[in-house]
Amino acid sequence: MTRTHKLIILRHGESQWNHENKFCGWIDIPLSTQGEQEALRAGELIKAAGDLDPDIIYTSKLTRSIETGNIILHHLNKVWIDHTKTWRLNERHYGQYQGRDKHEVFLELNQDKEKFQFIRRNYHGKPPLIPALDADPSIDERYNDILNKSILPRGESLEMVMKRLIPYFIQEILNHQLIQLNKTVLVVTHGSIVRSLIKFLNHVSDEDISKINVPTGVPLVFELNDKGELVKNYYYLDKALAEKGMEKVRNEGLKRKNDNRL
């Protein structure tokens, strides 16, 4: 019998630094008020779909991801399901740009849009690295169980993100939870992780992944067969809301906050 396995993935609701137009990366920033509302809306969309009932949730180790997941589960009355938190689902590490205003970085790059977008969106583009882990304020006690700290990033391209994400995703989520145990899995994570999973599952080229932007707080669904192959195109549960959010993400950093001029 052919089975269809459903994977629900979303970027967390808007964080306070998303609101302030800053690079978040691994710095632990909570949801904004709007982000909390987006998380609730995500829960409403999942519930309204009718055939999406998560059996297990995965989040990153970052508060904005965990808070979004908790709000969704409260709305679904499923706070009791198993919850795995892993640094493998953390946002892309933005190196020395973490905490920086995106538009200020754009100005530092002489308003070179191509160079700025290469760092933000290109598969190989990466920010300046933090010189050493002990100089990184985002590495704290939540990572104490990682004995070999050298595997933690000091800054990443999307290519580097995928190298630490995809093996974990294949073994733990795709092969084990989705296919072997036939569970509906909810993954609440970050923009670069969602882009990485879209690239992997939909076989997006290195060049074309730079064109994909991910909105905050809008669930997207992947339907997969027993081989882990898509049986239909992935889809957002609210296409119009997703497209509006994508446009906002596409232009981040090219203008000052509250300035509509590019």
Catalytic residue among 67, 91, 156, 252: 91
Percent of the chain with pLDDT over 70: 95
pLDDT digit string (tens) for 85-100? 999 999 999 999 999 9
Work out the pLDDT band at 253, boundaries 50, 70, 90. Answer: low
Distance CA 256, CA 262 (A): 9
Are 13 and 217 a contacting pair, CB within 8 Å?
yes
CA dihedral sign of residues 198, 199, 203, 205:
positive
Residues in the chain: 262
Centre a 10 Å sphere on the Cβ of residue 129 and count the other Cβ atoms it contains: 14
pLDDT digit string (tens) for 27-40? 999 999 999 999 99
Least confident stretch, 18-32, 55-69, 170-184, 247-261: 247-261
Query: Tokens 């920010």 label which residue?
Result: 127
Catalytic residue among 5, 12, 75, 190: 12
Active site residue 247: no
Looking at residue 240, its amino acid is A
For residue 260, pLDDT beyond 70: no
Domains and CATH numbers, the chain: 5-250 (3.40.50.1240)
**Residues contacting 16, CB < 8 A, separation 6+:** 29, 30, 31, 32, 35
Strands 220-224 and 235-236: antiparallel
Q: Is the model's pTM score more than 0.85?
A: yes
The residue among 161, 18, 152 whose CA lies nearest residue 89 is 161
Active site residue 203: no
